[in-house]
Amino acid sequence: MTQTGITLTQEEKDFFEREGYLVVKGLFSTEQVSEIVETFEDISKQTVPGYFEPDMEADDDPLKRYPRVMHPHRFNETARKYMLHQPVLQVLADLYGEEPLAAQSMYYYKPPGSRGQALHQDNFYLKVEPGNCIAAWTAIDAADEENGGLLVVPKTNTLDISCPDVADSQESFTTHYVKPPKDQKAMPVAMDKGDVLFFNGNLIHGSYRNKTKDRFRRAFICHYANSSAASISSHYRPLYNSRGEEVMLEANPDGGPCGQEFDATYYH
């Protein structure tokens, strides 16, 4: 059963503030996960220009056949519905202390053998100001170290946003890499299907390669901003409130720590 009427405990809110992340179990029911799986199984068999462009004949890289789906809420009603999933929004309201606004949705298939994603920070791309973005990373399959579950570097939520280095393209399908501080290491977050991992936009995180031969590591991932934010990167506009109404923040032109605008298509 999915949880309803979610209210975080003070201990949970304190953990998020201190560590930069929080796993909430069972925010999506088995039936809801199945609906998401069926929706994106249908999407995987087509091309949606600008959002999902697979190479149906590719056999040298599983991510060419199954690339991530970007902003599915812009063309699919089920994706939009679950981007505004009430239990997720309730947790976000507790974490923010105000209403959240939905900015982005993504779906990762991550088939067996897929490269991971180098460590990075989300608000380098979203550029939510003032405030921060929070990710809600939903496990559609059980996620662990073997199939490339998420890695987090605890307590790095208090760090500034860094200008990234270049990632190892043999292991990461994205181009940016943020090195954790000395003596701070990435730790895996094991999740069951339907669990949601929330994390702060400054938290350093990523994932390893899917080392299995027969297990996908599918995930439905959305990013949110606090309703008091004034601006966000133009790639993430418009945003949506809990009623599905469009909210248009100002486009944030700030080049950030690298001094230039990075192409957000590299992101995640």
Residue pLDDT, tens place only, 1-49: 445 568 999 999 999 999 999 999 999 999 999 999 999 999 999 999 9
In a domain, 10, yes or no: no
In a domain, 33, yes or no: yes
Q: At what angle do helices 86-96 and 10-19 cross, to 10 degrees?
A: 70
In a domain, 141, yes or no: yes
Tell me whether the omega of the peptide bond preceding residue 87 falls within 30 degrees of 0, making it cis.
Answer: no
In a domain, 30, yes or no: yes
In a domain, 57, yes or no: no
In a domain, 52, yes or no: no
- Into how many domains does the chain fold? 1
Residue 1 is predicted with a pLDDT of 40
In a domain, 53, yes or no: no
Residue pLDDT, tens place only, 134-172: 999 999 999 999 999 999 999 999 999 999 999 999 999
Query: What CATH number is given to the structural domain containing 108?
Result: 2.60.120.620
In a domain, 38, yes or no: yes
What does pTM read for this prediction? 0.95
Q: Which domain holds residue 226?
A: 15-47+68-266
Residue 267 is predicted with a pLDDT of 46
Residue 93 is predicted with a pLDDT of 98
Residue pLDDT, tens place only, 90-124: 999 999 999 999 999 999 999 999 999 999 999 99
* 166 CA to centre of own chain: 20
Beta bridge partners of 48: 52
